[in-house]
Structure 1
Amino acid sequence: MPRTHLEVFQGYVYAGAISANADALAECFTPDGVFEAPLVPEGADFPRRLVGREQIRTEMAAYYARRVGDGLAPNLEKSGFVLHDTADPDVFIAEIDTFFDPDETVSLVQIFRLRDGRIAHLRDYFTPGLVSSDTP
């Protein structure tokens, strides 16, 4: 039975934002999956575009290692999301409001394109300043 959009989304969020597990995050993607963060400037700490499961694994592991001890963790009780289905059953949109203690909220939109129950393409639109300390 194929995974629901909610299951795909929750798996992605848990692997990345909650547990910072690059291996688990990479496994959310197809082998040729693409991750894009179009609003992140070139040269920023957070990756702007990653192609393929192995690049996602490698680059996100390096990013998570650089972020250790930064104290940036979402407050799940105050955060929320809404998922929107589209006419294409392999595409859905997530609207997210993530609350970080002590008093920072980041609103973002993610567009997921699936293939065989995994993420084939993800576009993540968010404010780069919070996760990227060295923007040019």
Structure 2
Amino acid sequence: MSATPQEIFQRYVYAGAMTRNADALAELFTEDGVLEAPLLAAGSAFPRRTAGREAIRAALAEYYARPVGGPRTPNLEKSGYVLHTTADPDVFIAEIDTVFDGEEGEEEETVSLVQVFRLRDGRIARLRDYFAPSLV
């Protein structure tokens, strides 16, 4: 039985945002999978477009090797997401609101983004990640 969109999304978040594990994240993709961040400029720290599981593994390992930026800490209790299924059972959309705690005397900040997942045989064939370029 194939994994549900919920399971795939949770594995993706855990491998990427939570543990920064390029190997685990790459294994979620098909061999010819594509990871895109279309709003980023070419040459950004996070890869704008990477094709192929091994290329995704290498690009994210390089990105995750960088120091985690800034003092912002995500507040998992206040953060949330909504998954939307589509007429195509291999496509789902994640709406994400990540809340970052503020430094002392500063307000918390909410960062919103959208991810479009296209699956094949239970793996991610294409992921388009729409987030603000200032985040990387």
Question: TM-score if structure 2 supplies the norm length?
Answer: 0.91
Structure 1 partner of 2:26: 26
Provide Cα deviations, 1:70-91, integer angstroms capped at 9, x if missing partner. Answer: 4454221111000000000000
Q: How do 1:46-57 residues align onto structure 2 when only pairs under 5 Å count?
A: 46-57=46-57
The answer to whether the aligner puts 1:7 opposite 2:45 as a matched pair is no
| Amino acid aligned to 1:110 | Q
Point out where structure 2 has 5 or more consecutive residues left out of the alignment.
103-107
TM-score between the two structures when normalised by the length of structure 1: 0.91
- Structure 1 SS opposite 2:74: coil
The one of 113, 121, 131 equivalent to 1:126 is 131
Identity of matched residues, %: 70
Corresponding position of 1:115: 120
Aligned partners of 1:34 and 1:51 also within 8 Å: yes
Query: Post-superposition shift, 1:67?
Result: 2.8
Change (3 A) 1:42 1:69: closer
Match of 1:47, SS state, is coil
Give the drift of 1:39.
0.3
Which runs of no fewer than 5 residues in structure 1 stay unpaired?
none
Letter aligned with residue 119 of structure 1? I
Match of residue 75 from structure 2: 75
Match of 1:65 in 2: 65
One-letter amino acid of the structure 1 residue matched with residue 46 of structure 2: F
C-alpha displacement of 1:42? 1.1
C-alpha displacement of 1:106: 1.0
Q: How far did residue 100 of structure 1 move? A: 1.8
Q: How big is the shift at 1:62? A: 0.7
